[in-house]
Amino acid sequence: MSLQNIRVVLVNTSHAGNIGGAARAMKNMGLSRLVLVDPEDFPSSDAVARASGATDILDAAQVVTTLEDALVGCTLVLGTSARDRRIPWPLLDPRECATASLEQAQQGGEVALVFGREYAGLTNEELQRCQFHVHIPSSPDFSSLNLAAAVQVLTYELRMAWLAAQGKPTKMEKLEATAMLDTQPVTMDELEHYFGHLEQTLIEIGFLDPAKPRHLMPRLRRLYGRSGISKLEMNILRGILTETQKAARGEPHKRRQE
Amino acid sequence: MSLQNIRVVLVNTSHAGNIGGAARAMKNMGLSRLVLVDPEDFPSSDAVARASGATDILDAAQVVTTLEDALVGCTLVLGTSARDRRIPWPLLDPRECATASLEQAQQGGEVALVFGREYAGLTNEELQRCQFHVHIPSSPDFSSLNLAAAVQVLTYELRMAWLAAQGKPTKMEKLEATAMLDTQPVTMDELEHYFGHLEQTLIEIGFLDPAKPRHLMPRLRRLYGRSGISKLEMNILRGILTETQKAARGEPHKRRQE
């Protein structure tokens, strides 16, 4: 069942009750994988009380120290965002988020829905690790939803999309039919390695000044993040960077040697 | 504004925290009229705490003793129901509930969304006072949502329907219109110039052998073609190629010269 490929990631949650409320909402909607990044208070009796029977999800919750750890293996990461950002980012509403997540999960990918702190949300750095931002429409003068309520809205839309998709041929079956081997998506950690390699290369060729980085890397993250890169395409991009570094260092390359 | 014609009715609520959570969800979604039928504990500091700023809705809440009192003036009443009923009743999902409610409200009618007790829901007698029942889809083996979460789902669907009916720009569309200057898309000829520049650069760094090009350029065309590149992003990508060529040719670059 494809909903099992979708994990809920709560970053640096203050109130354990919200973790319990999120677990209950997830179980109501048929999700089960909860990852907690550096929670302030967990395990907690408040979480158990608000989970109201969804303690199996709390018991199985994975607790990690960084967002990066929470995203290992993911092929699609969506982060909830309440605020306008200086660098515009691909922005989805909850319904679009559900469609994109389910499609990815049905292709065998791993999806993370990332929720920030109760009062401060996700940091800009955390948001830049997300390929898409998700905004829950709300009243402009009172826009901040309770954390568990936000989890409820996004998981509700996932269940609606999942119910609608039942019985229909999935995209995965269509893909298998055409045997598109190179559409196997990269994982988030592979993408992170690429961004590290890209940044290093841009510094070496003198395009990126570490003292004045401006918004170059976030913009490149946004571009490649939304492009849905396959493993084969990633190999090509990494190969280009490696040859660029050799050229910048004046090292010979295979073809020049011939 | 038609959302003002839609009231939320909570029947015989046990936990005041849920009343606060419901008030917050309502205010987030642009609703304001809360009616409490025989609440067990109200007013309450728990309600204020969970309302998290939506105290105006709590202060204005109408407290009545019977469901009948709560429905005075209503032209459409919808009751949430978790269970299958012995007498089949017209049953809507939350999206259909939102459409029907908004249509009624826009015609000047008064709509009530009725939510039952935390553990027992609405009685059969109460449900029979509702023209429609609303069921929030949920996992068959864990189907009972938290009360405030149920209010969140139904009011969220109301806001989505209201935004769609406004034809008003959603927050997303506003972002696109104003801040997203750098999402102005490149033209096909600019993209062609880029592919020419890219191919030339890949030859110079020795990654592409013109005698054995294989499928490298088609794959890169496919990747960048589907990425929906903006003019600003294109400038960045062209800049990277220019600096790569300089590096490959051993020419100094600006930052190295400094």
Predicted pLDDT at A254: 58
And the tokens for A230? Answer: 């396959």
pLDDT of B5-30, one tens digit each?
999 999 999 999 999 999 999 999 99
Residues 6+ apart with CB under 8 A from A205: A244, A248, B240, B243, B244, B246, B247, B253
Domains located in chain A, CATH noted: 2-168 (3.40.1280.10), 181-257 (1.10.8.590)
Nearest chain A residue to B227, by CA: A227
Whether residue B175 has pLDDT greater than 50: no
Question: Is B7 within 8 Å of B107 (Cβ atoms)?
Answer: no
CB pairs under 8 A between A and B: 188
Nearest Cα of chain A lies from the Cα of B230 at a distance, in angstroms, of 9
Distances (CA, A) of A4 to A162, B57, B137, B215: 11, 38, 17, 36
- More confident position, B187 or B71: B71
Q: Which residues does B66 contact at the CB level (< 8 Å), separation at least 6?
A: B37, B38
Q: Which of A159, A228, A247 sits opposite B248 (nearest CB)?
A: A247
The ipTM, to two decimals, is 0.80
Mean pLDDT of B236-254: 88
Distance from CA of A128 to the nearest CA of B (A): 16
Six-digit token pair at A225?
């993040």
CA atoms of A108 and A1, how far apart (whole Å): 10
According to DSSP H, which parts of A30-62 are helical? 45-51, 55-59
DSSP single-letter state for residue A43: S
Residue of chain B whose alpha carbon sits nearest to that of A248:
B247
On whether the CB atoms of residues A40 and A10 are closer than 8 A, the answer is no
- Condensed to tens digits (0 to 9), the pLDDT of residues B108-154 reads 889 999 999 999 999 988 988 888 899 999 999 999 999 999 999 99
Distances B152 to A134, A152, A231, B158, B168 between C-alpha atoms, Å: 17, 8, 40, 10, 22
Q: What is the pLDDT of residue B74?
A: 85
Q: With beta carbons less than 8 A apart as the criterion, state whether A192 and A74 touch.
A: no
Return the pLDDT at B254: 58
pLDDT in tens, B45-97: 999 999 999 999 999 999 999 999 999 888 889 999 876 655 667 889 999 99
Judged against a pLDDT cut of 80, whether residue B233 lies above it is answered with: yes
Of A206, A224, A246, the CB nearest to B256: A206
Q: Hey, of B233, B240, B245, B258, which one would you mutate to test binding to chain A, going by the most A CBs within 10 A of its CB? A: B240
The answer to whether B5 touches B112, Cβ cutoff 8 Å, is no
Using an 8 Å Cβ cutoff, are A220 and A139 in contact? no
Structural tokens at position A37: 């990044």
Q: Report the amino acid identity of residue A99.
A: T
Q: What is the pLDDT of residue A169?
A: 46
The pLDDT value recorded for residue B108 is 85
**Hey, what are B64's tokens?**
């009545």
Extract the tokens encoding B105.
């409200």
Backbone angles phi, psi at B4, to 5 degrees: -65, -20
Contact A88 B28 (CB under 8 A): no
Side chain identity at B112, as an amino acid letter? A
Q: Give the total residue count for chain B.
A: 258
Q: Give how far B253 is from chain A: nearest CA, Å.
A: 6
Report the alpha-carbon angle A157-A162-A168, nearest 5. Answer: 140
Segments of chain A with pLDDT less than 70: 1, 83-86, 167-183, 253-258
- Kindly indicate the confidence band of residue B179, based on its pLDDT and cuts at 50, 70 and 90: very low
The model carries a pTM of 0.82
Give A-chain residues touching B247 at CB under 8 angstroms. Answer: 204-206, 244, 247-248
Residue A66's identity, in one-letter code, is T
Closest Cα partner for B155 from B244, B94, B235?
Answer: B94
Percent of chain B scored above 70 by pLDDT?
89
Give B256's pLDDT tier (boundaries 50, 70, 90).
Answer: very low
CB contact under 8 A, A243 and B209: no
Q: Which residues contact A128 (CB under 8 A, 6 or more apart)?
A: A218, A221, A222
Q: Residue type at B109?
A: G
Residue A198: closest CA among A255, A150, A238:
A238
At B174 the pLDDT is 47
Q: Which residues of A touch B183 (CB under 8 A)?
A: 88
Count of Cβ atoms closer than 10 Å to residue B228 Cβ: 14
Of B163, B205, B254, the CB nearest to A243: B205
3-class DSSP state of A88: coil
Mean of pLDDT values over B169-198: 67
SS3 A207: coil
Q: How confident is the model at residue B178 (pLDDT cuts 50, 70, 90)?
A: very low
**Cβ-contact A27, A1 below 8 angstroms:** no
Q: Which residue of A has its CA nearest to B182?
A: A88
Three-state helix/strand/coil letters over chain B: CHHHHEEEEEECCCCHHHHHHHHHHHHHHCCCEEEEECCCCCCCHHHHHHHCCCHHHHHHCEEECCHHHHCCCCCEEEEECCCCCCCCCCEECHHHHHHHHHHHHHCCCCEEEEECECCCECCHHHHCCCCEEECCCCCCCCCCCCHHHHHHHHHHHHHHHHHHHHCCCCHHHHHHHCCHHHHCECCHHHHHHHHHHHHHHHHHCCCCCCCCCCCHHHHHHHHHHHCCCEHHHHHHHHHHHHHHHHHHCCCCCHHHHC
